[in-house]
A = this chain, B = another copy of it.
């Protein structure tokens, strides 16, 4: 079994890697995960299939890497000096158009994950776990600043609160998730749940 995280991709230049990922995302948006083939990626990027498999191990890993590469500021590293500032900065990384495109892409991926265990595994390792870890780093900074207690019971539910609102917005309101929606949700729900008043 190939371990997702240990696949070597060191032979490609960063520019070539970015070009490959861009082509994979374009194909994903055009045909969806289930109809995307390694043949199509190879043709579109003028690569050999052998190279793709050697570098990424398989379609699930290639797609998860492409989506991760597309995420802006993946490490949530901006320390703005307050939890509220950090959460707002996290929500402001993408403009609304990009966010809507990515929400559509993620819905398609969520559907594909249910019938593709490889994809679910690659997503967990490359996208969900790093995202959850990044949220916990933001919260740890808030603990270190004295903004929230270390044993705050809402801490462990940060991903459910935030990813849940992002994921259900379209179904519940017939509207895409936007920066304004997410920032309003942070102030109305996430910060009060953590015991931080949103007026600071």
Which residue numbers of A lie inside 8 Å of B, CB to CB?
Answer: 107, 110-111, 113-114, 124, 128, 132, 153-154, 156-157, 159-161, 163-169, 171-172, 174, 184-185, 187-190, 192-195
Contact = CB atoms under 8 A, between A and B. Distances in A.
Chain A at the B interface: SS class: helix
B192 A188 contact: no
B153 A187 contact: yes
Contact of A165 (B164, B166, B174): B164
A188 B153 contact: yes
A64 to B, nearest CB: 14
Given A124-B174, A159-B172, A192-B194, 12 more contacts: A113-B171, A154-B188, A154-B189, A154-B192, A157-B185, A157-B189, A160-B189, A164-B164, A164-B167, A167-B167, A189-B189, A192-B193
B165 A172 contact: no
Contacts of A154: 188-189, 192
A160 B164 contact: yes
A172 B192 contact: no
A111, A114, A188 — most chain B CB neighbours (10 Å): A188
A160 B132 contact: no
